[in-house]
Structures are given as structure tokens and as C-alpha cells.
């Protein structure tokens, strides 16, 4: 998992057996697949209908339903789509590198695809509870720091090279990830695609060997093969995420890919679904019933605040920003690591952290795209707080916007986090994100004291 973490945000625990374009209306229709028997599909259809009806009975239920429909659902659908684009771009890069026809445009396309998928992943981190944590998808695709020695050993291992060039590279990565778990997912791909904050050059890729210190024994064509295989595994994991939350009401091509990669579904405790064998969307909307994740609506909303939003907020302040800052300023402990810096090769750390806060804002505002939206949706959590006279509404909203603004200033400063983790602007970011976390916890506590309505 993320290598050094003190989070208590994951309310559901589970294990993987390994250890592990916009969608058209046709793509979105519910279908019977080999993932589920017709009887199981009928049960999922019934659960979707009944859970929606249950949520729409109450004011709090409508807020939860809007959060799931307008934030969680489109975030995971877009993440899966963009992960497929990243997979295709990495496949193209590898094939062109192998054929000797690679161009800078091919590399740039893969870098842009990476950024698109990365943004959606970071903006999903305020709802890591559920499918991402229960099935350990988060640590599988988003662990850091990258271990150069581990990557060197893997890409000089004849069995690994045969596996990533074999009949099913993505399955090989999934089955054998214990040998290179620090270089999977986004950060392995980031290392291959970016260096020193820039897209990697075609000259770098066309050189026979790596030039990065400590990796000069690694063949660049094998590196490209590894990226293509890892991108396939990442795509499968994001398809599993959207399936976990939405069932088979996802693009047909994604359902078919999961059916072809059943080791991904079978590697989870509940066939990719919640403990009630229904999607997490319905598990959440069945609050107050025996099929619900929580016994009440106020507990469900409190979980969004504490298990979701506060969890990632605390991680940004204490871990993502905090560890390297404390080490750089001489205030760290033995548990801190100076290299615990997310996205160091692309130098997009501040962007990642800001997207985490936008994930929180999207969740509270009940709508995606809050980079450009300042008005909460009708059935949003913020409107619920305001309409029910939450006394610290303005403080929460201000803390949210000030955390985003501090990260925006850092992002535009020209001083990347990796280049100066002890900079005064990092301290400001930590303070503002910490203030937001305090405001989130206060709101969560207040809402948990309310009766269902």
C-alpha cells in the first residue's frame, strides 16, 4: 500500500488473492454477462431499483443518492475510460519502440493520457472507502515511493521479461506483482513517461539503455514493454472499481473485458461487489435496511465526511505534504521519509494534492467540476448543511476554498514540491489543509448527532 501511512480512513478491510470518450446510451445499458448468472443479474437489477426508491424517501437519502449519481458514478466512469486511453497509448508506445518508429508525438500522447487518468484517480480519493479499500485496489495501483532497485531487478529478470512479453502481460503483472509491487500502477508509469518534470524524450527512449542513475543496466525496450503491461493491469483495476460501485450498468466493453479477466473479479472476497453482493452504490442507498452499509442516513453522511473526505484530507496534510516537509525542516521522526513524495518524476505533486481537495469539494457540492463551479447542487451535502442551519457552514466553505487556493499558489510558484519540500509555501498548504480537515470533522460530528430526516 502507500508505503508509510497512518490513516484510519478505511472502514472496510479486505484482501486481493494476489496480495496483491464518453459512453453512449448503448454502452450504458444493463446486460447479462459471464460475470453474473441471469439470476444474479436479476438480483442486481432489483437491488438497483429498490435501493434508489429507499434513498428517495428521505431528505438525507436524496443527498446520498445525488452524491452517488453526480459525483461517484461519473468519476469512476471517466477514470475507467481514461485508463483505457492510457493503456492504448502505452501499447502504441511499446509497439513503436520495438519497431524503431517511435516519435515524440507518441510519447506526448501517452503523457497526456496519463495526466487525464491521474486527475480522475486523484479526484476519486475522497471516496476510497468501499471498493477501492475493500479490494485493496488503492495500494495496488497507487503506491510510492518507487523502488529503483526493485525495478532494476525486475527488468533484468528473464522470467519477468518473458511474462510482460507473453500471451497475457496484464495477467502476468497481476499474478506476480509481489516481485515489483512498488513499481505498479500510476507511479511505475509516471517514471517511464516523465523525467525531471517533463515528458521523456524520444532520444531517451531510443537509447538502448536507461540513463537514470542506478538503472543503467535496464533496456529501454523492456521498460516500454513493462509500461504497456502495467497499463493493462491498471485498466483492469479501474474497470473493477466502476463495476464494484455500479455493477454491470457500465460500458459493455468494460464488462466484457472483466469477463475476459475474471482473475481480477475472482481475486476479491465478494466477486468485486460489496459484502452484501450488491454494488457499493446500492449498499450505500440501502441505509436503514438490513442490506445497508450503515444503519442510518446520518451515519452514511458522517462516513462521507470522516471515512471519505477527512481521510484524504488528513493524508494530504500529514503524509503527502507532511513527511517530506518535516524531514526537510528537521522536525521529522523515524516514521517519516524524505522521499515520501507523490509524483516526483512529473513534478505534479501540488496538482495531485489539489485534485484530492477538489475530490472533497465535488463530494460536498454534489457535482463534478468544482474547479469552475461555486454553487452547490440542490441535493448536495453543503445545501443540506445550510438548509438545516449548520452553524459553521461558512467556516467549512472558507476552509475548503482556502486549501484549494494555497495549493494553487504553490502549483504556480515555479518551485516544485520535490525540489524544495521545506519551502514556506508547503507549510502554508499544510496549515490550510489541516484547517479544512478540522472543519470536516466538526461537520461530520454535527451531522452524526442529527436524527434521520
Condensed to tens digits (0 to 9), the pLDDT of residues 72-112 reads 999 999 999 999 999 999 999 999 999 999 999 999 999 99
Residue 277 CA to residue 282 CA, distance in Å, equals: 10
Q: What is the largest CA-CA distance in the chain?
A: 66
Q: How many CA atoms lie within 13 A of 111 on its CB side?
A: 22
pLDDT score recorded for residue 321: 98
Torsion of CA 350, 356, 362, 368, to 10 degrees: 70
Same-domain check for residues 248 and 317 = no
Same-domain check for residues 257 and 381 = no
Same-domain check for residues 361 and 439 = yes
Residue 399, C-alpha cell as written in the block: 476552509
Domain of residue 142, CATH code: 1.20.1420.20
Residue 122 CA to residue 127 CA, distance in Å, equals: 10
pLDDT score recorded for residue 34: 75
Cell 454491470 belongs to residue? 248
Same-domain check for residues 237 and 345 = no
Question: How many domains is the chain partitioned into structurally?
Answer: 2
CB 421, CB 347: distance < 8 Å: no
Q: How many CA atoms lie within 13 A of 109 on its CB side?
A: 15
Cis status, amide bond into 145, omega within 30 of 0: yes
pLDDT score recorded for residue 2: 54
Same-domain check for residues 331 and 237 = no
**Which of 212, 246, 277 is the last residue before a domain boundary?**
277
Same-domain check for residues 231 and 375 = no
Question: Domain for residue 8, yes or no?
Answer: no
Question: Domain for residue 216, yes or no?
Answer: yes
Range of the domain at 385: 297-448
Cell 518534470 belongs to residue? 197
Same-domain check for residues 415 and 444 = yes
- pLDDT tens digits, residue range 27-50? 444 443 478 989 999 999 999 999
Residue 231 CA to residue 86 CA, distance in Å, equals: 7
Question: Domain for residue 149, yes or no?
Answer: yes
CB 155, CB 222: distance < 8 Å: yes
Q: Show pLDDT as tens, one digit a residue, over the chain (453 residues).
A: 454 333 333 333 333 333 333 333 344 444 434 789 899 999 999 999 999 999 999 999 999 999 999 999 999 999 999 999 999 999 999 999 999 999 999 999 999 999 999 999 999 999 999 999 999 999 999 998 999 999 999 999 999 999 999 999 999 999 998 888 889 999 999 999 999 999 999 999 999 999 888 889 999 999 999 999 999 999 999 999 999 999 999 999 999 999 999 999 999 999 999 999 999 999 999 999 999 999 999 999 999 999 999 999 999 999 999 999 999 999 999 999 999 999 999 999 999 999 999 999 999 999 999 999 999 999 999 999 999 999 999 999 999 999 999 999 999 999 999 999 999 999 999 999 999 999 999 999 999 999 999
Amino acid at each position: 500500500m502507500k508505503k508509510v501511512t497512518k490513516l484510519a480512513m478505511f472502514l472496510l478491510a479486505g484482501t486481493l488473492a494476489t496480495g496483491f470518450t464518453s459512453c453512449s446510451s448503448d454502452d450504458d445499458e444493463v446486460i447479462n454477462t459471464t460475470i453474473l448468472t441471469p439470476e444474479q443479474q436479476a438480483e442486481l437489477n432489483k437491488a438497483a431499483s429498490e435501493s434508489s426508491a429507499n434513498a428517495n424517501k428521505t431528505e438525507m437519502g436524496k443527498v446520498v443518492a445525488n452524491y452517488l449519481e453526480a459525483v461517484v458514478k461519473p468519476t469512476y466512469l471517466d477514470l475507467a475510460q481514461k485508463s483505457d486511453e492510457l493503456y492504448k497509448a502505452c501499447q502504441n508506445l511499446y509497439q513503436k519502440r520495438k519497431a524503431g518508429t517511435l516519435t515524440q508525438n507518441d510519447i506526448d500522447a501517452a503523457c497526456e493520457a496519463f495526466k487525464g487518468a491521474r486527475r480522475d484517480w486523484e479526484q476519486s480519493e475522497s471516496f476510497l472507502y468501499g471498493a477501492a479499500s475493500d479490494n485493496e485496489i488503492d495500494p495496488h495501483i497507487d503506491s510510492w515511493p518507487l523502488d529503483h532497485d526493485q525495478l532494476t531487478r525486475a527488468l533484468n529478470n528473464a522470467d519477468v521479461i518473458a511474462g510482460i512479453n507473453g500471451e497475457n502481460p496484464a495477467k502476468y503483472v497481476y499474478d506476480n506483482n509481489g516481485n515489483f509491487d512498488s513499481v505498479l500502477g500510476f507511479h511505475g508509469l509516471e517514471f517511464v513517461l516523465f523525467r525531471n518534470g517533463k515528458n521523456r524524450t524520444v532520444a531517451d527512449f531510443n537509447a538502448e539503455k536507461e540513463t537514470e542513475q542506478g538503472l543503467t543496466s535496464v533496456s529501454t525496450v523492456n521498460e516500454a514493454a513493462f509500461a504497456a503491461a502495467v497499463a493493462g493491469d491498471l485498466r483492469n483495476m479501474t474497470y473493477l472499481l466502476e463495476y464494484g460501485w455500479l455493477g454491470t450498468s457500465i460500458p459493455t466493453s468494460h464488462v466484457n473485458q472483466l469477463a475476459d479477466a475474471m482473475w481480477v473479479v475472482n481475486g476479491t472476497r465478494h466477486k468485486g461487489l460489496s459484502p452484501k453482493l450488491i454494488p457499493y452504490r446500492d449498499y450505500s442507498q440501502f441505509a436503514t435496511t438490513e442490506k445497508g452499509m450503515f444503519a442510518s442516513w446520518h451515519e452514511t453522511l458522517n462516513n462521507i465526511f470522516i471515512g471519505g473526505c477527512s481521510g484524504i484530507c488528513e493524508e494530504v496534510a500529514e503524509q503527502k505534504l507532511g513527511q517530506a516537509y518535516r524531514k526537510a525542516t528537521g522536525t521529522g521522526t523515524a516514521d517519516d521519509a524524505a522521499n515520501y513524495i507523490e509524483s516526483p518524476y512529473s513534478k505534479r505533486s501540488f496538482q495531485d494534492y489539489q485534485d484530492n481537495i477538489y475530490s472533497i469539494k465535488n463530494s460536498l457540492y454534489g457535482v463534478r467540476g468544482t474547479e469552475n463551479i461555486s454553487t452547490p447542487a440542490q441535493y448536495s451535502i453543503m445545501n443540506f448543511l445550510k438548509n438545516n442551519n449548520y452553524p459553521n457552514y461558512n467556516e467549512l466553505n472558507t476552509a475548503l476554498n482556502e486549501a484549494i487556493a494555497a495549493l494553487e499558489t504553490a502549483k504556480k510558484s515555479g518551485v516544485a514540491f520535490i525540489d524544495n519540500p521545506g519551502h514556506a509555501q508547503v507549510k502554508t498548504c499544510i496549515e490550510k489543509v489541516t484547517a479544512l480537515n478540522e472543519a470536516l470533522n466538526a461537520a461530520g460530528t454535527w451531522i452524526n448527532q442529527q436524527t434521520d430526516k
